[in-house]
Structure 1
Amino acid sequence: MHTMWKGTISFGLVNIPVKMHAATENKDVPLRQLHKECKSPIKYEKVCPVCEKEVGNDDIVKAYEYAKNKFVVLDEDDLAALKKEQEDKAVEIIDFVKLEDIDPIYFEKSYYLSPNEGGSKAYGLLRKALEETGKIGVAKMMIRSKEQLAVIRVYKNTIVVETIHYPDEVRDVKEVPNVPENVETAKKELDTAKMLIEQLTTEFNPEKYQDEYRTALLELIEERKNADKTTTAKDKPKPDNVTDLMEALQASLDRAKKDKPKPSQPKKRKTTAKKKVASK
């Protein structure tokens, strides 16, 4: 399993060197977008709308938009210093609470923790202490340049870090529109609903649930492959030297015509005086 972070978890005077691994993975079936006409993958480019040209990563800076079209540019060195300052700190368990005290709306992503070199004994100590007290730890840690609030608990003999949202990241339920305050419910209807809940109540078995859409989509893709209903993206056409030469010659000719000075008009001869002499 890939190690995505190494650090130390501390509670009191106990320090536990650990490695962190992603506990979940995205199983969505990735679908590419193709040009309908030639079936070539669509390319997305970073383009500056003012300069009207593609921008490379070296030409991009980070900034915070504090008002419409007004930014505070943040230097990479400043961001790196802030990140380093936080990463140097151990993941410190601040409090211990009961798991049921935290509403599931706060939970974000799960990570497995394994002991790093020399950390097995302290790892086992924390695991056993959490199991026997029935408590979980609340801690702060840096993940991908963001300070995360997290809980540390035990799952199937393994210590798990669950990142959780900060309170100001959870929207106020009062902002949800059209939620009724009190609704009159007939006793017969309520009893029937409660009876239905009781009939469908069982122990939670995660293996029972499957992503039926993903399964059907994979089956459809395999079916199309077996029926040879596939397409191959065309190679990008190579430039034709003859065509390029003709275009270059034509462009040169057009430019030469444009830059060629206009011929000067011949000066008119003065004949007035001669005509007067001849008439005498």
Structure 2
Amino acid sequence: MAEPKGARPTWSGAIRLSLVVLPVAIYRAVDVRSEIRFHQIHKPTGKRVRHLNVVPGQGAVEREDIAKGYEYSKDQYVLIEPDELKALRLESKDSFSIVRFVDRNQIDAIYFEEPFFVVPDGEAAMEAFVVIRDALRSTKRIGLGQIVLSGRERIAALQPCGKGMLLETLRYAEDLRKAEDYFAGIKNVPVDKDQLGLAQKLIEQKTGDFEPDRFKDHYENALRELIERKLKSKGRRIQVEEPERKGAEVIDLMEALRRSVGRRSSGSDSETRIDRGPQAPAPRKKRAAPSRAPGRARKRA
């Protein structure tokens, strides 16, 4: 089977279901190449800052002299060589064995991590691939197993996805913080039935199909516009004026729900703020002075 142009599989191996062996290749489903990435630049020279591998008291060292080390005591390490890692024998390095089938709704969303496209590896695997895909779809189940990706064994879930299948890595239970530690302060307050009814009606009014194309990355688009403006002005500093924030109208919860339902019916969706008692009005932000630099946007490097 031909690979998508410019794509290389993240993993190649076999899906094992009892005695069925299905050769597959998996590809990352998320493309991060389109994200804007910043480099660190030395302002006086305009050149990129490079990071060196440095040992205290030794200076810069060569990459081939670096090994992985586990700190078992303060400043004491046991070294692990790359071939020693490769020699670890794990069945999940070359195969994904399905050990259980579950309803997807049984898995809390917090466990899902990263998605991968799964395709049959070769024409001979096509029939088995389609059979497993359609069986999962008809039973509305996903298959669970373990797989080694990026040097770590991960739980993974396999499910149908259009003409292919999707494999999603899952987090281990011990990797997650306990939700009850964060939710302990939430009180069980009595719920007003009328308020609940209005909230349910508002949810029903806003219910529809998931249309991901309707959501745009406004921050990414604003970054691109800023970069274009900087390029056109030959890198000169641009004066940025923050839009004045309008204070939200303060009303009580019942009135907020009534107005929200009514505005949704009329096609308007303005914001309201629930009354939590007297509050000082939000101070108006001053316009940035021409000599001051615009606030730095925090973006993953």
TM range (shorter): 0.7 to 0.9
Residues 229-253 of structure 1: CA distance to partner in whole angstroms, max 9, x if unpaired? 379xxxxxxxxxxxxxxxxxxxxxx
Q: Distance in 2 between matches of 1:111 and 1:95?
A: 19
Match of 1:229 in 2: 235
Residues 152-199 of structure 1: CA distance to partner in whole angstroms, max 9, x if unpaired? 001122111101111111221133276314234444444443333233
CA, structure 1 residues 47+20, in 2 after alignment: closer, same or farther (shift >3 Å)?
A: same
Shift of 1:105: 0.5
Match of 1:160 in 2: 166
Residues 102-129 of structure 1: CA distance to partner in whole angstroms, max 9, x if unpaired? 1110001011111112100100110111
- Greater displacement, 103-112 / 198-207: 198-207
Q: Distance in 1 between matches of 2:208 and 2:105?
A: 20
Equivalent of 2:67 in 61, 64, 69: 61
Matched, 1:146 2:152: yes
Match of 2:257 in 1: none
Shift of 1:218: 0.8
Match of 1:108 in 2: 113
- Segments of structure 1 that go 5 or more residues without pairing to the other structure are 232-280
Match of 1:218 in 2: 224
Matched, 1:201 2:207: yes
Shift of 1:214: 0.3
Shift of 1:58: 1.5
Q: CA RMSD in A?
A: 2.2
CA, structure 1 residues 221+119, in 2 after alignment: closer, same or farther (shift >3 Å)?
A: same
Shift of 1:29: 0.7
Instruction: Give 1:115-130 correspondences, 5 Å limit.
Output: 115-117=120-122, 118-130=124-136
- Segments of structure 2 that go 5 or more residues without pairing to the other structure are 238-301
Q: Distance in 2 between matches of 1:210 and 1:166?
A: 31
**Aligned amino acid, residue 36 of structure 1:** K
**Aligned amino acid, residue 48 of structure 2:** P
Q: Distance in 1 between matches of 2:189 and 2:63?
A: 56
Matched, 1:19 2:40: no
Equivalent of 1:41 in 48, 58, 64: 48
Bigger radius of gyration among the two: 1
**Aligned amino acid, residue 101 of structure 1:** Q
Q: Is the 8 A contact 2:93 2:148 kept in 1?
A: no
Please give the secondary structure, in 1, of the residue aligned with 2:220.
helix
Shift of 1:100: 0.6
- Greater displacement, 216-225 / 16-25: 216-225
Q: Distance in 2 between matches of 1:56 and 1:87?
A: 33
Residues 8-53 of structure 1: CA distance to partner in whole angstroms, max 9, x if unpaired? 101011111111111111242101121222222111112112x240
Shift of 1:57: 1.5
Q: Distance in 2 between matches of 1:114 and 1:230?
A: 49
**Aligned amino acid, residue 54 of structure 2:** V
Match of 1:32 in 2: 39
Match of 1:262 in 2: none
**Aligned amino acid, residue 127 of structure 1:** R
Matched, 1:183 2:189: yes
Please give the secondary structure, in 1, of the residue aligned with 2:142.
strand
Please give the secondary structure, in 2, of the residue aligned with 1:29.
coil
- Give the helix-richer structure, 1 or 2: 1
Residues 47-88 of structure 1: CA distance to partner in whole angstroms, max 9, x if unpaired? 112x24012212212122234333332233321211x54466
TM (norm. structure 2) is: 0.70
Please give the secondary structure, in 2, of the residue aligned with 1:225.
helix
Q: Distance in 2 between matches of 1:12 and 1:4?
A: 24
Equivalent residue pairs, number: 229
